[in-house]
Amino acid sequence: TSMNIFPPLSVFYFSVDAGLVLTLFGFFNSSTFEVRRVVKLLNPLTGYSLSSSPLDFLVISAFRILINAYTNHLGISGKSSQIARLDKPVATFSVVCVSFSFLKCLLYSEQPVLHDCAGTYFLPAWNLISTVIFYRLWLNDFEANVGNTAEERKKKDEEQNNEEIQLSKIKQIALLMKYSLAKWPWLLIGMLLSLTSASVNVATPHYTSQVMNGITSLREGVDINHSITMLAVLTFASMVLTGLKSGSFSYLTSIIVSKMRKDLFNSIVSQEIAFFDKHKSGEIIARLTSDTRGLSYQLTDMFTGTMKSVLTLVGKILVMGALSWRLTLVNFIAFPIIIYVTKLYSDFYEKMCEQGSDTNADSHQVAGELISNIRTMRSFGAEKRASERFARAIDEAQRVSRKESLLAMGFHCSYDLYYNVIYVVVLIYGARLVSAGSLEAAALVTFMMYQQDIGGHIVGLTYEIPQFMGFLGESRKFCELLVRKPRIRTDGTNMQPVKYESSA
CB contact at 8 A, 22 and 59: no
Q: Which range marks the domain in which residue 83 is found?
A: 8-153
Asked whether 244 and 193 are in contact (CB, 8 A), the reply is yes
Domain count, the chain: 2
**pLDDT for the residue 235:** 87
CA-nearest of 61, 69, 65, 47 to 124 is: 61
| Mean pLDDT, range 438-445, rounded to an integer | 87
Q: Is residue 131 located within the same domain as residue 182?
A: no
State the average pLDDT over residues 108-130: 82
Closest CA to 134 of 14, 241, 272: 14
What is the reported pLDDT for 4?
A: 55
Same domain, 91 and 207: no
Residue 178 in domain:
yes
Say yes or no: 88 and 200 in one domain.
no
Residue 59: in which H helix or E strand, if any? helix 55-76
Shared domain for 62 and 108, answered yes or no, is yes
Q: Is residue 349 part of a domain?
A: yes
pLDDT on residue 499: 57
User: Quick check: is 253 in a domain?
Assistant: yes
Q: What is the mean pLDDT of residues 71-94?
A: 82
pTM for the structure as a whole: 0.70
Distance, CA of 504 to CA of 501 (rounded, Å)? 9
pLDDT, residue 96, reads: 92
Domain contains 291: yes
For residues 249 and 386, state if they share a domain: yes
Query: For 83-109, what is the mean pLDDT?
Result: 89
pLDDT tens for each residue of 308-351: 788 888 888 999 999 999 999 998 898 888 888 877 887 777 77
pLDDT at 93: 92
Q: Does one domain contain both 353 and 272? A: yes
Determine, yes or no, domain membership for 495.
no
On whether residue 70 sits in a domain, the answer given is: yes
What's the CATH code of the domain at 195?
1.20.1560.10
Q: pLDDT tens for residues 28-52?
A: 777 777 788 888 888 766 777 888 8
Instruction: Name the domain boundary from 120, 153, 186.
Output: 153
Q: Is residue 71 part of a domain?
A: yes
Amino acid 497: pLDDT: 59
- 113 and 145 assigned to the same domain: yes
- What is the percentage of the chain residues whose pLDDT exceeds 90? 8
Give CB contacts under 8 A, 24+ apart, made by 206-215: 206/319, 206/446, 206/449, 207/231, 207/234, 208/449, 209/442, 209/445, 209/446, 209/449, 210/446, 212/445, 212/449, 213/442, 213/445, 213/446
503 within a domain of the structure (yes/no): no
